[in-house]
A and B are shown apart, each in its own frame.
Chain A
């Protein structure tokens, strides 16, 4: 027995090494504990962590640009914005991208997104979307005159249906599913002919876009429907090319007669200048600024929102500080932190004596006092804030009393709200219970005998309080301060109502961007920064005071 213990690891009764056996027992315990908390854990993760994380993720997410105009964005990555304005090929790609986006009603969403960066983009996309079809319709008329069969579904279906164009079709399908986030079924009821794709490269892309949209989004039968007007513009683009004209002459597949008829009338075909066409819609399309914007914000992820949140901006020349008259957020962050600290300190000053009274009065009067502390706590936040309005305004109760008492002249009534004073007063009052309650529960545990002992040993009242009582109540101050500070930093209703202009917090801007401007990216960036600041302060607090010294109760 003693030999085995000396030569090998210690074994338990069943011969397994003791270490393993212990680990197994502990693991079982851990799993049991984990299982016990798993409902709560799942609840917290699902209802709290995931939503917050996904909201914060919006502060960098920017896929809308590359999903809406995928091939355009890919093309301009390699050229300068000025080169882009004269690149006919780019405008052709833009036409196809935009057409798909307009049909999916995604172009205005992109317009709103880019309008956050530059005013006027929103209407550029909205009006362009409305006019995009017109160009196609001009060509449709031309083809109708050339051969009326060309503006019917069967002509297109026979021309484009076939094998060999799978790669192109897959590529176009990818663009569509990125845009609409719809899943395509395996059977689209349509395949693309490789021959047509080689003969008419633009038309086959446009047709594929239409056919996929019809099959995936509208869930219609491709063979029966007439394609978008944009497909005619793309066909015109192909037929305008002399090489394609001669290829069409040699072409003998389905639809050959119609195509040849169109080529025969090619002199009557409207011009196929896509750049000129976009310039005609709005000359912003041929301005370097627009393309520079698309270049800068074309990436999948952007730092733009975070830069906005710290009063900077992303420009083609790099990161720039915003001009003086547009800087707002750093000032608001600063103000939020400073005012929250002021509110926390006033809560300590006001709450400490009240908590002391609560802890030391006889039970009966302490209960009454407790109800007085809790009563406002149970009243609606809006009611309390509005009540402060009645008290603080210039024709309000406090000013009336001061004027009546003769302390203040009637024409120089005090301005106590619609500024930071109002915010501090109202928020101190609203957050006071969060300071008093933890203080009270800590003070309740300090035995009054300590104070008596200090005094009987010769301490003055002040020394007894300061050297004996106060240090023991510090954990309560810590807990109350953290509660009040963290609540204050996220407040926005009270500052909105009584804060005027210099009493509003960063949360008011976050609320504005969430509910009014719909710039959730910026709101998320502001929120992320606020969260980071709070965590940083919490960490500092832990380093300086120690989080173990915080007590919420006995």
Chain B
């Protein structure tokens, strides 16, 4: 009797959860404050308007590329929409793991009628990529450890005489090698030509070698704000949103440098091979979540710039602090006097090679 009851209950559960699954959508993101901003700006309003759809968040973006490949090989794709960096979107597109997007027909146009592809502009770094935000890798420093002359140039990283102490840098070559060459006297517009040669790569590593003993290498961007807060380092690179959170939300004695910030894009990709009903649901969500207003809304929760040009004027105040967010965007004209825009094609080609050299250099 009890067994029958239990069986009935279980099967009822299976049936209801099965039907719930049919109306649910799995979104993959990075967790933390960034995912919270997406929830508030995109998915909460969407589910409010579409109460029959449940959105499930999966914090797997850091391993998204590998997991998508594994899912694809297993022929069972459980994700509907995945948040990845621009560089990963190229890799996923090349591997045939992400669906190609026709931005104009699939996404909403700007309010003034500008087509989506024009509105997103250069942020569409691959055929599969639906941009959301512009973020940058930049440098933060301890206000109380730099004396009366806070750094104004990225080359302060390499100036251990003026700014003694440890620095935190990414354990990957991206941004580090560009900054090294820039501070070694290579003109900015020649950096990628130099970096494409073996000698240029050696030159960048030689410059980094001058501060190698002073560097703590991070593999998670959260490490730098923590190291800064602990007074463990004098300066370090991380994403601008992390620095904003440490400065504005946690009132840490930290200053930030916008010089030579490395602009990068983050956005959605749709896994290749979704069944039609799920794809239709995802495209409906995407159309909503990447429109001009939604991208501008996200900036109220995190200091990353909206990828649409038409969203920039709509950026308002911080949701809790009430301070205007526009001056904290990497794309704000005052911050963007000297920027690098990540050269995706270059990095897609040279990432493996430069990374191998970089890691060998690190290990020596």
List the interface of chain A (C-beta within 8 A of B): 105-106, 108-109, 111-112, 115-116, 119-123, 126, 325-328, 331-332, 393-396, 418, 496-497, 500-502, 504, 509, 514-520
By secondary structure, the B interface counts as helix
A519 near B352 with CB under 8 A, answer yes
Closest Cβ–Cβ distance, residue B302 to chain A (whole Å): 24
A105 near B96 with CB under 8 A, answer yes
Complex alpha-carbon distance, A515 and B359, angstroms: 16
Closest A residue, CB atoms, query B345: A123
Closest A residue, CB atoms, query B93: A108
B352 near A119 with CB under 8 A, answer yes
B residues 167-208 with Cβ under 8 Å of A?
A: 196, 202, 205
A123 near B91 with CB under 8 A, answer no
Complex alpha-carbon distance, A116 and B95, angstroms: 14
A106 near B94 with CB under 8 A, answer no
Complex alpha-carbon distance, A111 and B90, angstroms: 12
B95 contact from A325, A516, A518, Cβ within 8 A? A518
A501 near B94 with CB under 8 A, answer no
From A121, A395, A514, A518, name the one whose CB has the most chain B CB atoms within 10 angstroms: A518
B357 near A326 with CB under 8 A, answer yes
B residues 190-233 with Cβ under 8 Å of A?
A: 196, 202, 205, 216-217, 219, 230-232
B94 near A109 with CB under 8 A, answer yes
B95 near A120 with CB under 8 A, answer no
Complex alpha-carbon distance, A523 and B32, angstroms: 30
Complex alpha-carbon distance, A120 and B359, angstroms: 20
Complex alpha-carbon distance, A418 and B212, angstroms: 13
Would you list 16 pairs from A and B whose C-beta atoms are within 8 A, ordered by A residue? A105-B96, A106-B96, A108-B95, A112-B91, A119-B354, A122-B94, A325-B202, A326-B360, A327-B360, A328-B360, A418-B217, A500-B217, A501-B362, A504-B363, A518-B66, A520-B69
Given contacts A325-B360, A496-B219, A501-B362, contact A109 B95 (CB under 8 A): yes
List the interface of chain B (C-beta within 8 A of A): 62-63, 65-66, 69, 91, 93-96, 166, 196, 202, 205, 216-217, 219, 230-232, 345, 348-357, 359-364
Complex alpha-carbon distance, A484 and B68, angstroms: 33
Contacting residues, chain A, for B66 (C-beta < 8 A) = 514-516, 518
Closest B residue, CB atoms, query A501: B362
Contacting residues, chain B, for A331 (C-beta < 8 A) = 363-364
Given contacts A109-B96, A111-B94, A515-B65, contact A120 B360 (CB under 8 A): no
Given contacts A115-B349, A122-B349, A501-B363, contact A108 B96 (CB under 8 A): yes
Complex alpha-carbon distance, A500 and B356, angstroms: 17
Contacting residues, chain A, for B230 (C-beta < 8 A) = 393, 395-396
Complex alpha-carbon distance, A142 and B62, angstroms: 50
B356 contact from A109, A326, A496, Cβ within 8 A? A326
A123 near B96 with CB under 8 A, answer no
Contacting residues, chain A, for B359 (C-beta < 8 A) = 328, 509
From B91, B94, B231, B362, name the one whose CB has the most chain A CB atoms within 10 angstroms: B94
Contacting residues, chain B, for A105 (C-beta < 8 A) = 96
A123 near B348 with CB under 8 A, answer yes
Complex alpha-carbon distance, A63 and B297, angstroms: 48
A123 contact from B166, B217, B349, Cβ within 8 A? B349
From A111, A331, A394, A519, name the one whose CB has the most chain B CB atoms within 10 angstroms: A394
Contacting residues, chain A, for B353 (C-beta < 8 A) = 119
Known: A326-B360, A395-B230, A516-B65. 8 other contacts (CB 8 A): A121-B349, A325-B357, A328-B356, A328-B359, A328-B363, A501-B362, A509-B359, A517-B352
Complex alpha-carbon distance, A332 and B362, angstroms: 11
B348 near A418 with CB under 8 A, answer no
Complex alpha-carbon distance, A517 and B332, angstroms: 33
Complex alpha-carbon distance, A123 and B91, angstroms: 11
9 nearest A-B pairs in the assembled complex, by CB-CB distance: A108-B94, A119-B353, A515-B66, A328-B360, A501-B362, A123-B349, A105-B96, A119-B350, A120-B349
B352 near A126 with CB under 8 A, answer no
B91 contact from A325, A394, A518, Cβ within 8 A? A518
Contacting residues, chain A, for B94 (C-beta < 8 A) = 108-109, 111-112, 122, 126
Contacting residues, chain B, for A504 (C-beta < 8 A) = 363
A517 near B231 with CB under 8 A, answer no
B96 near A517 with CB under 8 A, answer no
Closest A residue, CB atoms, query B92: A518
Given contacts A327-B360, A331-B363, A518-B95, contact A115 B217 (CB under 8 A): no
Contacting residues, chain B, for A126 (C-beta < 8 A) = 94, 345, 348
Closest Cβ–Cβ distance, residue A156 to chain B (whole Å): 26
B361 contact from A115, A325, A396, A500, Cβ within 8 A? A325
Complex alpha-carbon distance, A327 and B94, angstroms: 28
A393 contact from B95, B232, B354, B363, Cβ within 8 A? B232
Closest B residue, CB atoms, query A116: B352
Closest Cβ–Cβ distance, residue A280 to chain B (whole Å): 19
Contacting residues, chain B, for A394 (C-beta < 8 A) = 166, 232
Closest B residue, CB atoms, query A124: B349
